[in-house]
């Protein structure tokens, strides 16, 4: 089995990589930075591609090469975990900035959609292929200050629904909200200007009260679900509602 993970250098993505490697699954990670040093027992199963996924030209060049096809060659099962994302720009209309909006959409929407398309093209011979878009509760509930972020994640949800309808042979897809996970992105949430993000105090309280899920615990549940027979029975799901899967 082989897995491609975006945003593999930190946070939830790095924890997903560690979990997959521990299960003896070969991983190709994509991020701007390398992940921290991996345990020697698993490091040989990890390959890194240094890529800015918000740079559409760089992504197109990478996809035009053969790295993905070479990586998945010979696999009986292949996984794509579209995890890389950005919260920015945070705030109401009038101060979001066109460049920041475009960057968020390139990273949070264009890159996962392009990677999903290339993954399906590269895995035509693979009998079992699975895609996870890491979505968010913000795709399904509206939060002041997060209009761009929420719209980008809602786009992933609806992409998964559409792909599900396509019924591509051997392909399953799910846009999965992971819950509130203790990563750099959560620190960024708590560091938001309260004038731009009125819910900040609620996220500060979640951290203070120990209510955040650790990246390792979230990754363990996510990978178990991803590898299970139940995966993607519905194209949109929330990990917190799947504990009984």
Ligand X SMILES: NC(=O)c1ccc[n+]([C@@H]2O[C@H](COP(=O)([O-])OP(=O)(O)OC[C@H]3O[C@@H](n4cnc5c(N)ncnc54)[C@H](OP(=O)(O)O)[C@@H]3O)[C@@H](O)[C@H]2O)c1
Q: Least Å distance between CB 25 and ligand X?
A: 18
The residue with its CB nearest to ligand X is 11
Given a contact cutoff of 8 angstroms between Cβ atoms, the answer to whether 236 and 160 are in contact is: yes
Q: Least Å distance between CB 185 and ligand X?
A: 3
- Residue numbers 14-73 binding ligand X by CB under 6 A: 31-33, 52-54
**Cα(91)–Cα(222) distance, integer angstroms:** 30
Assess 192 for contact with ligand X (CB under 6 A). no
Give the DSSP letter string of 107-158: IIIIHHHHHHHHHHHHTTT-SEEEEEEE--GGGTS--TT-HHHHHHHHHHHH
Q: Least Å distance between CB 86 and ligand X?
A: 6
**Cα(3)–Cα(21) distance, integer angstroms:** 9
Among 62, 178, 222, 235, the residue binding ligand X under the rule CB under 6 A is: 178
Assess 181 for contact with ligand X (CB under 6 A). yes
**Cα(175)–Cα(138) distance, integer angstroms:** 12
Q: Which is nearer to ligand X, 91 or 178 (CB)?
A: 178
Residues near ligand X, by CB under 6 A:
7, 9-13, 31-33, 52-54, 83-86, 107, 134, 136, 178, 180-181, 183-186
């Amino acid at each position: 089995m082989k897995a491609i993970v975006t945003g593999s250098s930190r946070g939830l993505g790095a924890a997903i990589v560690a979990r997959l490697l521990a299960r003896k699954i070969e991983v190709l990670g994509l991020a701007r930075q390398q992940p921290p040093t991996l345990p020697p027992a698993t490091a040989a199963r990890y390959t890194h591609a240094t890529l800015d996924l918000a740079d559409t030209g760089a992504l197109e060049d990478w996809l035009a090469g053969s790295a993905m096809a070479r990586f998945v060659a010979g696999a009986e099962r292949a996984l794509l975990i579209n995890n890389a994302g950005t919260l920015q720009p945070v705030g109401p209309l009038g101060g979001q900035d066109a460049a920041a909006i475009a960057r968020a959409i390139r990273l949070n929407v264009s890159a996962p959609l392009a990677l999903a398309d290339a993954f399906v093209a590269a895995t035509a011979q693979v009998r079992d292929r699975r895609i996870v878009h890491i979505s968010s509760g913000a795709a399904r509930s509206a939060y002041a200050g997060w209009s761009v972020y929420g719209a980008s994640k809602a786009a992933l949800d609806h992409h998964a629904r559409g792909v599900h309808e396509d019924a591509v042979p051997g392909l399953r897809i799910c846009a999965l909200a992971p819950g509130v996970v203790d990563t750099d992105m959560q620190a960024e949430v708590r560091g938001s200007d309260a004038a731009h993000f009125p819910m900040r105090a609620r996220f500060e309280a979640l951290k203070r009260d120990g209510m955040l899920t650790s990246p390792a615990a979230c990754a363990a549940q996510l990978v178990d679900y991803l590898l299970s027979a139940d995966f993607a029975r519905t194209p949109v799901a929330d990990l917190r509602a799947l504990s009984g899967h």
